Structure 1
Amino acid sequence: MVELNNVTLQYGSQVLFLGANLKINPGEKVGLVGPNGAGKTTIFRLLLGEEKPDEGNVERPKRLSVGVFRQDFAEYGDKSVLAETVAGAGAVAALSGELEELEAKLNDVDDPNYDEILERYGEVQARFQDGGGYDLDARARAILAGLGFRPEEVDGPIGALSGGWRMRVQLARLLLAPHDLLLLDEPTNYLDIESILWLESWLRAFSGAILMTCHDRDVMNRVVRKVIEIDGGTLRTYVGDYDAYERARALDAAQREAEYEKQQAMLARDMRFIERFRAQPRKASQVQSRAKKLEKIERVEPPKRLVERHFNFRRPERSGNDVLAVKSLVKKYGDRVIHNKLELMVHRGERWAIMGENGAGKTTLLKMLAGVLPPDAGQVVVGASVQLGYFAQHQMEQLSGDRTVLEELEAHAPKADRGVIRGLAGAFGFSGDEIEKPIFVLSGGERSRLALAKMLYDMPNLLVLDEPTNHLDLTTKRALVKALQDYDGTLVFVSHDRAFLRALATRVVELGPEGPRVYHGSYDEYVQMSGREAPGMRAL
């Protein structure tokens, strides 16, 4: 369906692709992986025709309908959420507008062009019906509901939405329109776990082809059946889901490492022979033969090793056994009761996952636990020797844009030795020149790592984390999970990432209209006991 054939592309002195090949067949679900800056966005641009290769070619049928979802905030007018979504249906939406114009003209039966207008109306109506136009609103409402919009929000103005919810509208527009191929750049960003599960089901049922980048391991495992990896300018294809890709890649890397080492040993032997017998006339022909062989031999390149991050947390001081006692907690916003006489007891070493639908009060609860939001009634009692660290997405926005990474950490810990600060930065992936980067150029993932580094410098023995994996790639998520598994403290967190939940939770509290329900056990045990992966599972 679409192909890259021997594509070479260079930006200045940087060779992005060298003889790269890619093929996506009709109906294939493909994951695109590679380190930051490897060229994933450029692959999308090549397939869309927005970028031309220096060498090679891009094959794409002329009538192929391609939809793309990018991490760009679009500008919207004053339409409703529903109207803006329906407008994304392309030709079908345009036909709807033409039908309205023709219907208005047909009210004038004395129009001399009445017969032509009537004929045109019949043609447009047939095309509109064939394109599913008459159920366009219903389909748009179903998609918006799946992505977490309440009915009153669907008919409300899009201008009232935050950036993250506007991104959901962009995604809804894309899913509503008919496409043969979807190019999706991190489609699960800004989604809650219920919306991710709905999107996952939608993508699996989609009859067209998909090429996507995604930092959610579960989505990659359940949707894609082929993975294309950008590997040092080439594209390697692996059949299977993400877990299968990791196993195959490890095996492939081991084989290439063995071939490389075998060739290096052979080259070393031949070089020793040449050096030893270079000056002996009796061995001249053999020396010459081996020298020619070395000139002609095709060198085996060593496999490029994936950079694994390792976050090193210092051991926190031991807290008392009773870490948090939530007593008759009440919180309201206007007339709306978010929490009504909430009761919880958190003990040392426990790892609590807070779950609930949008609006259930997950973030509100974490803010009250962290002491940044007062309850309307009741209290949060913090136990003896508890040192609390709080991570929330707004902390990324509070980072000083004019400072470098090093300056931000030094401002947070002014008494710390420069070597300690550099060690902390290195532990969170800022090494070499990266520590001198100004904050305003950092990606979302880099800002998350910096905010985590600041919080963990103080080494609290209670961590309250609100969506700590947002904007983190799979490699960084894996490092954070490993560090938190080794963390000798207490953890209370909200996350939409099922792999994160599965790896860490030892208690699950589900917030709902009837009050909190506590499940003693892991996330997998919660799924078994509740019969669902998230509190507000929505049907496709």
Structure 2
Amino acid sequence: MIDLKNVSLQFNGKYLFNDVNYRISSGDKISLVGANGTGKSSLLKIITGEIEPESGTVQRQKNISIGYLPQENVTHSNKTLLEEATSALSDIVKLQQKEAGLQKELSKENISDDERDDLIHQLGEVHLRLVELDSYSASSRVEKILKGLGFEEEDFDRLTETFSGGWQMRIALAKILISQNDILLLDEPTNHLDIDSLNWLISFLKSYRGALVVVSHDKNFINQVTDKTLEIYFGKFYTFKGDYDSYLRFKEERDAQAIHQYELQQKKIKETERFIERFRYKATKARQVQSRIKQLEKLDLIELPEIKNEIDIKFPQPAQSGRIPIQLEKVSKSYSDKSVLQNIDLSIERGDKIALVGPNGAGKTTLAKIIAGVLQHDSGERIVGHNTFISYYAQDVADNLDPELDVLDSVYGINEEKTVGELRSLLGSFLFTGDDVFKKVGVLSGGEKSRVALCKILLTKANLIILDEPTNHLDISSKKILQKAMVDFPGSLVIVSHDVDFLRPIINKVLDIRKTGLKFYPGDIDYYLFKRKELTETEKSVSGISEKLQEKNFNNDSISRKEQKRLEAELRQKKYQATKNLTKEIERIEKQISLLEDEQKVLQSKLADSEFYNNPEEVKLTNKRFKEIEKELEELLQNWELKTEELNNILNQFN
């Protein structure tokens, strides 16, 4: 499909890559990797023809269509969302216009038989091409892709200029997917997606038959959608067959071997230099000395791989908060006449590490801001627990930095225990190296400002930290450092994020926020994804059977009683399979509650008897057990409520 032949590209006098060759074939699924500044985005632009290489050629297959999604700076205007998305079907639109023109010509009187035959032949060719492009399902495909990326039907008639920057990127991505390109070049496509649209995109790309080249810092995403890795390494291209995790293992082994070879070469160079220095002025060794000098001149020096020192960043030890750092009771929030959150009850317990997930626009950021106390709710109560100290990282937190301070000054003094050297190491792990730390905040890009703000968070002594999309501007190594700090953090965390790989080792609860309400999942992100998949499959299955029944019932002549019974039995079986485990779990919890309540009544009778207090030791043990039962009952009742709500949600699908 695409051949890069002897391609070179320079930037500021330095080769990003030099004299490289690579072929992208149909069906390739490639992850493009390399350190920051190695030219990944530039390579994508060379493939598209947006920029020309300094030397070499790019040969593209004739009539190949390329879909390219840049990292940023995409805007749309003067069309509705649906019009903009449909414009990606340019080939189909042109063919449909041609079809209408040919039919108009055929309807004319007094055309010759030869002209008629020619028009019919042309019309047949147009129809064949429309079938090849699957034009008759194009409209439904457009809507399906828009909905998959998180747009709702009510958005279809909105003008594109009314959408925010993140949604503008989604529009661009939708158009690329709609247009059925032969190759997709995606530069950080996941930055502006929520967890639902991200999972949908993964599913779409898994079934996509064309070639794919993707640059992404989302390990979970690239592991699932790619099976080859192209690395830009010291100005050359290196390929590896396998997913990203396999490539990382290979890279670790290769780097270790390169370091070993470098050390051996350096040892040999020093031995040669010592020989030259020792015998430089000895006539009997002159020939040998000259030979060794030539050896050194011809030597191909081994370059050390870019190895980042593992920086062990830890949050300062915070003061311990009360058992409940933050509690929300019947909290509601609206913007104008649009209700976002309604009657929210939420208790965050000390040590909780909670992920807020769900579709964009459902209220994740609004809830995070209310928890943090930076946004006032309309009604209800926000109760701050004993000794709670809050730190908040917002998506727009960069706007609150002082533009007159340099990067180092922006983080200096937040934690008096950190030396300047330690601060520079921390900033280096977030890509501020050398003199970068002396740049004024005002000249930094949005992504750079976000990284400064994250560094400030890592230096605070808060015991409740709220982070809204903290990984959007981080490379994989920076994410790893932040991730480890979050795992080791002894306080409470609330994280709004769609980055599954980042969340995986950190969180112990998931709060799913949708327009229908909030739902707690008492487990890690994989448990949440499993339960969501289970629920989605149940919904699809029930929907499919219900549609069959409705379709059959619509025309009673075409359905037998036997067929209707079969479909109804299938629906009952689906309902049983979907609910049997939950039903058993609820029954088990109810039995535990009943046993504990019986025990509690016995203890209450004892404690109500005045003679019982003649034995202080038994009173002490009984009081202790009574408190234990109270706590156990509280936890069981919370679990019962969650399981019952989950069961009701599933049962509603069958009604």
Give TM-score, length-normalised by structure 1. Answer: 0.89
Are positions 1:169 and 2:181 aligned together? no
**Structure 2 CA distance for partners of 1:120 and 1:251, relative to 1, 3 Å:** same
Deviation at 1:173?
0.7
Deviates more, 1:75-84 or 1:204-213: 75-84
**Match 2:153 to one of 144, 151, 165:** 151
- The 5 Å alignment of 1:342-353 reads 342-353=344-355
In structure 2, the partner of 1:329 is 331
Deviation at 1:172?
0.8
Deviates more, 1:37-46 or 1:239-248: 37-46
Hey, what's the Cα distance between the residues in 2 that align with 1:377 and 1:12? 57
Hey, what's the Cα distance between the residues in 1 that align with 2:120 and 2:276? 90
**Structure 2 CA distance for partners of 1:7 and 1:530, relative to 1, 3 Å:** closer
In structure 1, the partner of 2:221 is 219
**Structure 2 CA distance for partners of 1:405 and 1:356, relative to 1, 3 Å:** same
Deviation at 1:31?
0.7
Letter in 2 for 1:19: D
Hey, what's the Cα distance between the residues in 1 that align with 2:271 and 2:168? 63
- The DSSP-based 3-state class of the residue aligned with 1:276 is helix
- The DSSP-based 3-state class of the residue aligned with 1:237 is strand
In structure 2, the partner of 1:32 is 32
- The 5 Å alignment of 1:357-396 reads 357-396=359-398
Report if aligned partners of 1:391, 1:451 keep a CA contact under 8 Å in 2. Answer: yes
Letter in 1 for 2:87: A
- The 5 Å alignment of 1:187-206 reads 187-206=189-208
Are positions 1:82 and 2:85 aligned together? no
Deviation at 1:10?
2.1
Hey, what's the Cα distance between the residues in 2 that align with 1:442 and 1:377? 39
Letter in 1 for 2:324: D
Listed as ranges, the gaps of 5+ residues in structure 1 are: none
Report if aligned partners of 1:82, 1:137 keep a CA contact under 8 Å in 2. Answer: no
**Structure 2 CA distance for partners of 1:430 and 1:538, relative to 1, 3 Å:** farther
Deviations 1:204-261 (A, max 9, x none): 1111111110121111101111111122212221221111111111111111111111
- The 5 Å alignment of 1:428-467 reads 428-439=430-441, 441-467=443-469
Deviations 1:318-377 (A, max 9, x none): 222321122222334566554333222222222111223334322221111111222232
**Structure 2 CA distance for partners of 1:299 and 1:336, relative to 1, 3 Å:** closer
- The DSSP-based 3-state class of the residue aligned with 1:148 is coil
Report if aligned partners of 1:146, 1:538 keep a CA contact under 8 Å in 2. Answer: no
Letter in 2 for 1:242: Y
**Structure 2 CA distance for partners of 1:313 and 1:130, relative to 1, 3 Å:** same
In structure 1, the partner of 2:553 is none
Report if aligned partners of 1:8, 1:18 keep a CA contact under 8 Å in 2. Answer: yes
Deviations 1:385-413 (A, max 9, x none): 11101111122344455664356557x96
- The 5 Å alignment of 1:53-452 reads 53-99=53-99, 109=108, 123-306=125-308, 311-333=313-335, 337-399=339-401, 404-406=406-408, 408=410, 419=420, 423=424, 425-426=427-428, 428-439=430-441, 441-452=443-454
Report if aligned partners of 1:70, 1:184 keep a CA contact under 8 Å in 2. Answer: yes
- The DSSP-based 3-state class of the residue aligned with 1:353 is strand
Deviation at 1:108?
8.0
Deviations 1:294-332 (A, max 9, x none): 333333332232576664532222222321122222334
Deviates more, 1:369-378 or 1:525-534: 525-534
Report if aligned partners of 1:527, 1:533 keep a CA contact under 8 Å in 2. Answer: no
* RMSD (CA atoms): 3.4
Letter in 2 for 1:508: V
Letter in 1 for 2:198: I
- The DSSP-based 3-state class of the residue aligned with 1:476 is helix
Are positions 1:503 and 2:530 aligned together? no
Hey, what's the Cα distance between the residues in 1 that align with 2:409 and 2:388? 29
**Structure 2 CA distance for partners of 1:414 and 1:202, relative to 1, 3 Å:** closer
Report if aligned partners of 2:194, 2:357 keep a CA contact under 8 Å in 1. Answer: no
Hey, what's the Cα distance between the residues in 2 that align with 1:305 and 1:6? 28
**Structure 2 CA distance for partners of 1:155 and 1:310, relative to 1, 3 Å:** farther
After TM superposition, what 4+ stretches of structure 1 lie above 6 angstroms from structure 2?
110-114, 116-119, 412-418, 533-539
**Structure 2 CA distance for partners of 1:122 and 1:156, relative to 1, 3 Å:** farther
In structure 2, the partner of 1:21 is 21
Give TM-score, length-normalised by structure 2. Answer: 0.74
In structure 1, the partner of 2:46 is 46
**Structure 2 CA distance for partners of 1:109 and 1:290, relative to 1, 3 Å:** closer
- The DSSP-based 3-state class of the residue aligned with 1:503 is coil
**Structure 2 CA distance for partners of 1:415 and 1:144, relative to 1, 3 Å:** same
- The DSSP-based 3-state class of the residue aligned with 1:516 is strand
Letter in 2 for 1:248: F
In structure 1, the partner of 2:647 is none
In structure 2, the partner of 1:9 is 9
Deviates more, 1:59-68 or 1:212-221: 59-68
Deviation at 1:30?
0.4
Report if aligned partners of 2:415, 2:460 keep a CA contact under 8 Å in 1. Answer: no
Hey, what's the Cα distance between the residues in 2 that align with 1:25 and 1:524? 34
**Structure 2 CA distance for partners of 1:139 and 1:293, relative to 1, 3 Å:** same
Deviations 1:499-527 (A, max 9, x none): 12212101222234664332323222334
Deviations 1:49-100 (A, max 9, x none): 3333333332322332222111344443332212211111232233334445
Report if aligned partners of 1:311, 1:428 keep a CA contact under 8 Å in 2. Answer: no
**Structure 2 CA distance for partners of 1:58 and 1:100, relative to 1, 3 Å:** same
**Structure 2 CA distance for partners of 1:11 and 1:185, relative to 1, 3 Å:** same
Letter in 2 for 1:161: F
Deviates more, 1:248-257 or 1:441-450: 441-450
Deviates more, 1:440-449 or 1:40-49: 440-449
Letter in 2 for 1:297: L
**Structure 2 CA distance for partners of 1:535 and 1:69, relative to 1, 3 Å:** farther
- The DSSP-based 3-state class of the residue aligned with 1:322 is coil
If asked which structure has higher relative contact order (CA below 8 Å, sep 6+), I would say: 1
**Larger helix share, 1 or 2:** 2
Over the matched positions of the two proteins, sequence identity in percent amounts to 38
Letter in 1 for 2:269: L
**Structure 2 CA distance for partners of 1:388 and 1:537, relative to 1, 3 Å:** farther
Deviations 1:164-186 (A, max 9, x none): 11211111111111322111111
Deviation at 1:44?
1.3
Letter in 2 for 1:80: T
Q: Higher Cα Rg: structure 1 or 2?
A: 2
**Structure 2 CA distance for partners of 1:425 and 1:54, relative to 1, 3 Å:** closer
Hey, what's the Cα distance between the residues in 2 that align with 1:538 and 1:450? 44
**Structure 2 CA distance for partners of 1:119 and 1:74, relative to 1, 3 Å:** farther
Hey, what's the Cα distance between the residues in 1 that align with 2:538 and 2:332? 23
Matched residues, number: 537
